[in-house]
Amino acid sequence: MYNCDIGIELASEHAGKNTQDITVRNNFVSGSYQANIMAGGYASNRGNAVNIVIVNNTTYQASQGELALQFNCSNITIKNNIFYGIAGQDYLQEWGNNNTGIAVSNNLYFGQSTTSPGSWADARARYANPRITANPHMHLSATSLAIDAGLALGNDGSGNPLSGSLDIDKEVRVSNGAIEIGADEFASTLLVELINFSATADDKHCVVLSWQTGMEFNSDYFEAQHCTDVTTNQWESITHIPSAGFSTTLQSYTHQHCPATGISYYRLKQVDRDGQFSFSAIRAVQIRGNELQILLTNEGVGILSPETATASLIIYSELGQELVQQQIQLNANIYYPLSVGLKHGVYLFMVSTLEERVWKKIGMK
């Protein structure tokens, strides 16, 4: 609920009639013109609010208090809520009278008083910044003191958990052994469905990373990471790409990276708006360096290979006659001089490894 006159109201306008046996839980309520949550008749000669449970809600900066009881409330339980107030307004306010059995416990208060909730005491009050994410996304961030700080609420009269089984995001309501304060159970698993992630070399000696998501909830960005030796686990960030955030349709992402030659490893760090993250599987790509080359230098003919390899050398005469055939052992990036004692003339040199084969016609002087 956002920007309403009253966010949630539990009221009866008829004298002697009750709003009764209602549980209000797992709501984000913010910016109400009156109070974010209200209960009771609007005048002493109006109806009653009876047996009301207000638990695990997160309210934010209503104009006239986060929770207000008007007239004729009885047996009201207020627990495990975050009341993020506005300066000058008590968090909990009594606007009328004849309110009895008001049980307030273990709520987290911030934004107004740091010593009192207002009209009712809270023996387990906590006064701290709940570190919710930017309004209207009122989720907890990873460092929130609300995490695992809720009271166990037990079961309702029907034997079902009073907290409900799911939080406002339809995530498991009690995670990590304890319920949070407020409507959001901090997600222990990320809600991004990564459909595929690939890293492939293109024809320019670069790597194209591409991935897709089938569903995103609360996602913030992807960070692509690169390393050259997974055993060191020293990853460097190569880019941040904003993600769709909230999506149920296919989203595609791509990024090009041009690493040094050799094997490169890539992974994705997916970060959500709460600062939580997870890593994708790791992909490996080999980037080949310069091609195998036959070179003519001042010292004669030689071979330069990007990789250590056994190669076959064949030299043909200009007339196509095979003059030399031999195996040679090439070391990566080390010039290998050929001393084949050729006379003046034009020759065709052919060098082949398992990976590639090159030719060069050279005139010897």
167 binds Ca ion (CB under 5 A): yes
Report in angstroms how near the CB of residue 172 gets to Ca ion at its nearest: 9
* List of E strands, 167-261: 174-175, 178-179, 192-201, 207-216, 219-227, 236-242, 251-257
Q: Are 83 and 66 in contact (CB under 8 A)?
A: yes
90 binds Ca ion (CB under 5 A): no
Span from 57-65, 177-185, 225-233, 294-302 in contact with Ca ion (CB under 5 A): 177-185
151 binds Ca ion (CB under 5 A): no
Report in angstroms how near the CB of residue 165 gets to Ca ion at its nearest: 13
Instruction: Please report, as residue ranges, which positions from 343 to 362 form the binding site for Ca ion (by CB under 5 A).
Output: none
Q: Are 239 and 266 in contact (CB under 8 A)?
A: no
Report in angstroms how near the CB of residue 246 gets to Ca ion at its nearest: 14
Span from 159-167, 244-252, 255-263, 291-299 in contact with Ca ion (CB under 5 A): 159-167
Span from 84-92, 111-119, 144-152, 303-311 in contact with Ca ion (CB under 5 A): 144-152
Residue (171 or 307) nearer to Ca ion, CB = 171
Q: Residues 184, 216, 220, 223: which binds Ca ion (CB under 5 A)?
A: 184
Instruction: Give me the residue label for tokens 């880019």.
Output: 239
Q: Residues 22, 105, 113, 171: which binds Ca ion (CB under 5 A)?
A: 171
Q: What is the bridge-based pairing of β-strands 67-69 and 37-39?
A: parallel
Report in angstroms how near the CB of residue 164 gets to Ca ion at its nearest: 12
Q: What tokens were used for 307?
A: 């990789």
Report in angstroms how near the CB of residue 234 gets to Ca ion at its nearest: 33
148 binds Ca ion (CB under 5 A): yes
272 binds Ca ion (CB under 5 A): no
Q: Are 150 and 100 in contact (CB under 8 A)?
A: no
Q: Which residues contact 202 (CB under 8 A, 6 or more apart)?
A: 208, 256
107-110 long-range contacts (CB < 8 A, ≥24 apart) are 107/78, 107/79, 107/80, 107/81, 107/82, 107/83, 107/181, 108/81, 108/82, 108/83, 108/145, 108/146, 108/149, 108/181, 108/182, 109/83, 109/85, 110/82, 110/83, 110/84, 110/85
What track of x and - describes contact with Ca ion for positions 185 through 224 (by CB under 5 A)?
A: x-x-------------------------------------
Number of residues that bind Ca ion (CB under 5 A): 10
Residue (16 or 275) nearer to Ca ion, CB = 275
Sign of CA dihedral 160, 161, 164, 167: negative
Residue (9 or 167) nearer to Ca ion, CB = 167
Report in angstroms how near the CB of residue 174 gets to Ca ion at its nearest: 6
Using alpha carbons, select from 106, 99, 49, 50 the residue that is nearest to residue 83. 106
Report in angstroms how near the CB of residue 135 gets to Ca ion at its nearest: 16
Report in angstroms how near the CB of residue 60 gets to Ca ion at its nearest: 16
Q: What tokens were used for 134?
A: 């930017």
176 binds Ca ion (CB under 5 A): yes
Instruction: Please report, as residue ranges, which positions from 312 to 341 form the binding site for Ca ion (by CB under 5 A).
Output: none
Residue type, 254: T
Q: What is the DSSP string of 121-176?
A: --TT-EES---BPSTT--PBPTT-TTTT-SPP--B-TTSSBTT-SB-TTSSBSEET
169 binds Ca ion (CB under 5 A): yes
d(CA 338, CA 230): 38
Report in angstroms how near the CB of residue 175 gets to Ca ion at its nearest: 4
Residue (152 or 284) nearer to Ca ion, CB = 152
Q: Residues 74, 175, 210, 212: which binds Ca ion (CB under 5 A)?
A: 175
Q: What are the φ and ψ backbone dihedral angles of 283, each rounded to 5 degrees?
A: -115, 145
- Contact residues: Ca ion, CB under 5 A: 148, 167, 169, 171, 175-176, 180, 184-185, 187
